[in-house]
Homo-oligomer: A and B are copies of this chain.
Amino acid sequence: MNKNEMFRLLNVNLDMAIEAHELLRGEANAEVSGVVMTQEKSAYALVTTIVIETEEGARQMGRPIGQYVTMEAPVLLSNDYSAHHELTEILGQQLIRMMSLDESASVLLVGLGNWNATPDALGPQVITKSLITRHLYQFTPETLKGKLREVSAITPGVLGLTGIETAEIIRGIVEHVHPDLVIAIDALAAGSLERIGASIQLADTGISPGSGVGNCRMGLTEETIGCKVLAIGLPTVVNAAVIAHHTLECLLDQLKTSPALYRIYQELNPQMTQQILSEVLAPFHGNLMVTPKEIDTLIESSARIITGALSMSLHPEINEQNYPAYFQ
């Protein structure tokens, strides 16, 4: 049984396209049909763009046709402020390119997740820091035009607190506010610990059903909410099943090292692996997140980078120099 199948059995969701792509390419690093990957490296970041071009690519990748950009930057985890400044600028440039907004376009920011659960609080934090202008626009459009774009925002809360699917709430608002673009900010589940707090993903396809730390059941896509969605995500947790699986893999790798052990390895029933994992992860129905202790400060610093990048990509008046001044 390969990793992909195992994760599906264990209900592990990989929110990052870059990881799904790696898994597919496997050790042979084979091309995936209908999927094109390009990379760009700078001092602090590796930006990987994965374009799913065909239905076949979409099927294999388990996510819709579209563009997935990941900025990998381990320096996100440190307190190197000048590096963070540069990352903000890189992210801002990518956002400008992916949004390609008309001059008069308006945007609705959606902060997904739960204020009361630290690893899930990224979305609400970005909303709190962001500059909101839609209500000002109604009074003094002429003084704002060309300087600050029309931006509204909502922090809808999670299903457990509202009893309402997030997509239902957003669809209702979209029908009244008529934004040209919805930007949804969410915390993601990664497939490896190294990614936590160290990458930011942009996807022009929105948010897939079942993804995110809070597990957005219906997803947020053009189909479910009636407006194009750009998703911004930061991995903040890893499903505990990933840790358990990784541990087993490491042991099995060891078993392969001697011919005698290798024979044993081959005798091991693949079902055994699944059975072990199920047993270890039984409590809380496997709904177990692994997260580093310092996750609150990781989210805080990433929320600043995302908010800064949003500010400079949405508002003509805001640039790489003055963006920190516009934090709310």
Given contacts A177-B164, A276-B250, contact A213 B293 (CB under 8 A): yes
Chain B residues whose C-beta falls within 8 Å of the C-beta of A328 in the assembled complex: 297, 300
Chain B residues whose C-beta falls within 8 Å of the C-beta of A82 in the assembled complex: 325
Are the C-beta atoms of B283 and A288 separated by less than 8 Å?
no
The distance from the CB of A30 to the nearest CB of chain B, in whole angstroms, is 26
Interface residues of A in 68-86 (CB under 8 A from B): 81-82, 84-85
Are the C-beta atoms of B163 and A169 separated by less than 8 Å?
no
Chain B residues whose C-beta falls within 8 Å of the C-beta of A255 in the assembled complex: 264
**A1 touches B (CB below 8 Å):** no
**A134 touches B (CB below 8 Å):** yes
Which residue of the partner chain B has the closest CB to A167? Answer: B176
How many residues of A sit at the interface, in one of the four size bands? 35 or more
Are the C-beta atoms of A159 and B171 separated by less than 8 Å?
no
Contact with B along A152-180 (1 / 0, CB 8 A): 11111101111110001101111111000
Q: How far does the alpha carbon of A188 sit from the alpha carbon of B326 in the complex, in Å?
A: 26
Chain B residues whose C-beta falls within 8 Å of the C-beta of A119 in the assembled complex: 118
Chain B residues whose C-beta falls within 8 Å of the C-beta of A128 in the assembled complex: 161
Instruction: Tell me if A's interface is mostly helix, strand, loop or mixed.
Output: helix
Given contacts A81-B326, A247-B277, A261-B267, contact A295 B117 (CB under 8 A): yes
**A196 touches B (CB below 8 Å):** yes
Q: Which residue of B116, B243, B295 is within 8 Å of A296 (Cβ)?
A: B116
Are the C-beta atoms of B132 and A160 separated by less than 8 Å?
yes
Are the C-beta atoms of A290 and B293 separated by less than 8 Å?
no
Q: Interface residues, chain A, CB within 8 Å of chain B?
A: 81-82, 84-85, 114, 116-119, 127-128, 132-137, 150-157, 159-164, 168-169, 171-177, 193-194, 196, 213-215, 240, 243-244, 246-248, 250-251, 254-255, 260-261, 264, 267-268, 272, 276-277, 279-284, 287-297, 300, 304, 322, 324-328
Considering the complex of A and B, which 8 residue pairs feature the smallest CB-CB distances, nearest first? A172-B172, A134-B163, A324-B324, A152-B163, A81-B325, A284-B292, A193-B283, A250-B276
